[in-house]
Amino acid sequence: MKTIKSLDDLAINGANPAFSEPLHVGHPFVGDRKVFLGYVDEILDNNWLTNNGPMVMALEKQVAEHHDVKHCVAMCSGTVALEIAIRALKLEGEVIVPSFTFIATAHALHWQAIKPVFADISPDTHNLDPDSVRRMISDRTTGIIGVHLWGRTAPIEELQAIADEHNLKLLFDSAHAFGCTHNGIKVGNFGACEVLSFHATKFFQTLEGGAVLTNDDSLADTLRLMRNFGFSGFDNVIHPGTNGKMNEMSAAMGLTNLQYLETRIEHNQNVYHHYLHALSNIPCIKLLEYDDKETNNYQYIVIEISEDCKVSRDRLVEVLRAENILARRYFWPCCHRMRPYKSMLPAQSCSLEQSEIISDRVVVLPSGVAVDKEMIDTIVTAIAVLIKDSQ
């Protein structure tokens, strides 16, 4: 790897890039290929490819156990799991969501003719600000979707209190929070239900996939009906439904990857601590910290560039990309600044100040299996040289 000592050593100024292969945020993790292919043979031998097959059932059981929750209902994606959960909870009218989230949180509502009403976030946590949520409640509000952003849990107790007070349903988009805890309790146990994403780039992946976690037996029954066209046994449809089923190949990928959770958390935690230490002397950069007293998956290394920094956020991303470090702006612009929400909610932006500020400052750095300590040192040196020499 090249050494970066001054601005002249940066690829943006004509030097060779630090990495010959691109370093991604959310590099997919795939466990032992032989184990996966063994499962694939089993699936093909059984000729049971989908429709609640043995792999899906085994995956649901293990994911539910891992989260200490009664039910895991696996689905074909996190977005479809959100859509089905929203429908099973009979949400309508308006539902409050953060704007600083992946667009799927808002789309899952809009897709079902429910209006997402965007609330602001707390700048220290990037999670929903309960005061802002309160301000967004109207007589059409039926629910709140909290997002455990970066795997760090939303203000669950405050949101539950608001939901109870106004008779609203509360669910969580826990797409980032596989295996994470809140006061030692695993996600999946909060609100009416919680939705996981198993997309290829997430901490735990099944190619495409997702699940709803809940302790509510009757909600779980409804979710199972709805993901399978409302079929209750052969020839008997008792509920409106869609096709939200997970297939056996995806479940096989999941069963393969479940064996690595602990080693991956350990690796991610080391990566996080190494970044934390290496970035600590660089002016203008703040790494969003994890609470080591909780269980986290440490999947996201999130930095904020301070407002007074001589280097803009977009310049930093551009410089890193030239090095093949594919750092990313995240949730930029926020949901309310993208179509269709931009034109639907013209008056709202004034009250989403923190979301706009944070989405203009955040950069997510490569993490996970793709990086080691030496690579982190190179990434951080590139950032340090750029910022220090530009002061």
Instruction: By CB under 6 A, name the binding residues for ligand PLP.
Output: 77-79, 101-102, 104-105, 147, 173, 175-176, 197, 199, 210
Nearer to ligand PLP, 97 or 383 (CB): 97
The residue count of the chain comes to 391
Nearest approach in angstroms of CB 173 to ligand PLP is: 5
Strand partners, 23: 325
Nearer to ligand PLP, 121 or 282 (CB): 121
Nearer to ligand PLP, 102 or 341 (CB): 102
Nearest approach in angstroms of CB 206 to ligand PLP is: 9
Closest Cα to residue 328, out of 367, 364, 355?
364
Q: How many CB atoms lie within 10 A of CB 237?
A: 13
d(CA 54, CA 135): 47
Nearest approach in angstroms of CB 76 to ligand PLP is: 9
Q: With beta carbons less than 8 A apart as the criterion, state whether 62 and 255 touch.
A: yes
Nearest approach in angstroms of CB 99 to ligand PLP is: 12
Buried b (16+ CB within 10 A) or exposed e, 364-388: bbbbbebbeeebbebbbbbbbbbbb
Nearer to ligand PLP, 104 or 278 (CB): 104
Task: Kindly write down the DSSP assignment for every residue of 105-137, as one continuous string.
Answer: HHHHHHTTT-EEEEE-B-TTTSSB-HHHHHHH-
Nearer to ligand PLP, 335 or 383 (CB): 335
Nearest approach in angstroms of CB 46 to ligand PLP is: 26
Residue linked to tokens 């107790």: 157
Nearest approach in angstroms of CB 70 to ligand PLP is: 22
Residue type, 308: D
Nearest approach in angstroms of CB 144 to ligand PLP is: 15
SS (H, E, C) 1-70: CCCCCCHHHCHHHCCCCCCCCCEECCCCCCCCHHHHHHHHHHHHHHCCCCCCCHHHHHHHHHHHHHCCCC
Nearer to ligand PLP, 78 or 282 (CB): 78
Residue linked to tokens 């979707």: 145
Nearest approach in angstroms of CB 210 to ligand PLP is: 5
Nearer to ligand PLP, 107 or 239 (CB): 107
Nearest approach in angstroms of CB 183 to ligand PLP is: 22
Nearer to ligand PLP, 208 or 323 (CB): 208
In this structure, what is the dihedral angle of CA atoms 170, 174, 180, 182, given to the nearest 10 degrees? Answer: -20
Q: With beta carbons less than 8 A apart as the criterion, state whether 79 and 198 touch.
A: no
C-beta nearest to ligand PLP: residue:
78
Q: With beta carbons less than 8 A apart as the criterion, state whether 382 and 10 touch.
A: yes
Nearer to ligand PLP, 173 or 356 (CB): 173
* Phi-psi group of 337: left, alpha or beta (phi > 0 → left; psi -120 to 50 → alpha; rest → beta): alpha
